A = this chain, B = another copy of it.
């Protein structure tokens, strides 16, 4: 296997360099001195140039062709490696170098403009540069689409194999049921956590939660960052969380969410480490792991019973009388404008709003000039509230400023996948609630590792879920779960 081995040696080196570049990003958010930002931009740019140079090296294409002729059709692992390499190579070769450079420069500038505009609540100040981003992203999409749908082409960067038509169908099923459920939930009173919670004690409990959910701190670490994230693959997967003295749930559920992402990376078959198969296969599958850890497991009644005891031990009496009240506080449904603060009922409505708008932008059916009004109309329709400030509306997310079109729907897809996996997990582990009541996640996380995480990039995203669940992914399990959970909570 001369060509295949040569190709894989090159790809290992590229994957190792990508890990270094990723860790540079981690450092920037956690450790970097403030005064180093300008120099860091030059360092990151140099790393990206190296990575890009390797992606589009014609020798890579030659080796790939030779390796494809060489590998047996029955060698599933090698075939999957080649599939990932081929997809990455073709994607890189399709986009003209000048366009890639222009996009990198423009989105760097646009992110700064977005931050300024958001601080000033001034969409008009952001619209011109966003229009430029949309123009170049459509150009890039056309280069990638090869005559096909522009939005579908962009979607492949985040969820290979997925298409807007399929998303449309799933979301169309979800939206009216979520709007209805939202209406019912908001009629109820929900307890809210009050008081102050010691930061150091929050971080100690975060460390404990991370371990309870199976995060291996010998191959990772937990630090603070403004926006929590997980970073890295293989044996060096780091997570961050944040601490607010008045909002310990933010700390704990951020930690559990990132632990879900990190356990996915840590759980991949170690023989795939530092190869194209050695990462989570898509944003949607990644989000399915973070969400099932955070929501279906972490916000379950059974686990909340255990967590209530832990919080009582850590903080004493904090004004919530029993585990049932605690469960209601954890799952509180409330009016709000901000996606990242949304509860399980409303979160996907936020995502669908963005999905429909960005599809229209990329299709050329909506102009950037009309975007704010379209946002506000849709928000009023789904959430029943007028948007009064752009920072609560169209300016709240960074994604579009940095060119992430096609990314938003993977959040909801992750929730949908989590719904499917949760149903299958409940079938496979009938004693799950009894375990969760003890803070025992071992069997649940082992099932996820066995059925999802270990495969890394071996299967296509939808196939991973279908294999784990024994059925194609669909919206009904998530909707049934939400109906049951919030039906019970609202009586």
CA distance A12 to B33 in the complex (A): 21
- In angstroms, Cα B24 to Cα A31, docked, is 13
B221 touches A35 (CB 8 A): no
Q: Are B43 and A20 in contact (CB under 8 A)?
A: yes
Tell me if B236 and A32 are in contact (CB < 8 A).
yes
Is there an interface contact between A19 and B43, defined as CB atoms closer than 8 Å?
Answer: yes
Within the complex, the shortest CB–CB distance from A11 to chain B, in Å, comes to 11
A34 lies within 8 A of B218 (CB): yes
Instruction: Verify A39–B236 contact, CB threshold 8 A.
Output: yes
**Contact call A38/B235, Cβ cutoff below 8 A:** yes
Chain A interface size, as a band, is 35 or more
Contact among B13, B36, B238 with A235 in the assembled complex (CB-CB below 8 Å): B36
Residues on B with beta carbons closer than 8 Å to the beta carbon of A219: 33, 35-36
Of chain B, the residue at the smallest CB distance from A36 is B236
A44-52, A301-309, A356-364, A377-385 - interface stretch = A44-52
Decide yes or no whether A42 CB sits under 8 A from chain B: yes
Q: Is the CB of B19 within 8 A of A39?
A: yes
Return chain B residues, CB-CB under 8 Å to A50. Answer: 17, 50
Query: In whole angstroms, how far apart are the Cα atoms of A274 and B14 in the complex?
Result: 24
Which B residues touch A31, using CB under 8 A? 31, 221
Residue from A40, A216, A236, A238 having most chain B Cβ neighbours under 10 A: A236
Contacts of A38 in B (CB 8 A): 235
Contact B27 A23 (CB under 8 A): yes
Evaluate contact between A20 and B24: CB separation under 8 angstroms: yes
CA distance A13 to B12 in the complex (A): 22
Chain B residue, CB-CB nearest to A12 = B42
Give the complex CA separation of A38 and B273 in angstroms: 11
Taking CB atoms, residues of chain B closer than 8 Å to A221 are 31, 33
Name A20's contact: one of B47, B216, B236 (CB within 8 Å).
B47
Is B274's CB under 8 angstroms from A33's CB?
no
Given contacts A12-B46, A14-B46, 17 further A-B contacts (CB under 8 A): A16-B39, A16-B42, A17-B43, A17-B47, A17-B50, A19-B43, A20-B20, A20-B47, A23-B27, A31-B31, A33-B217, A33-B220, A33-B238, A35-B219, A35-B235, A39-B235, A42-B274
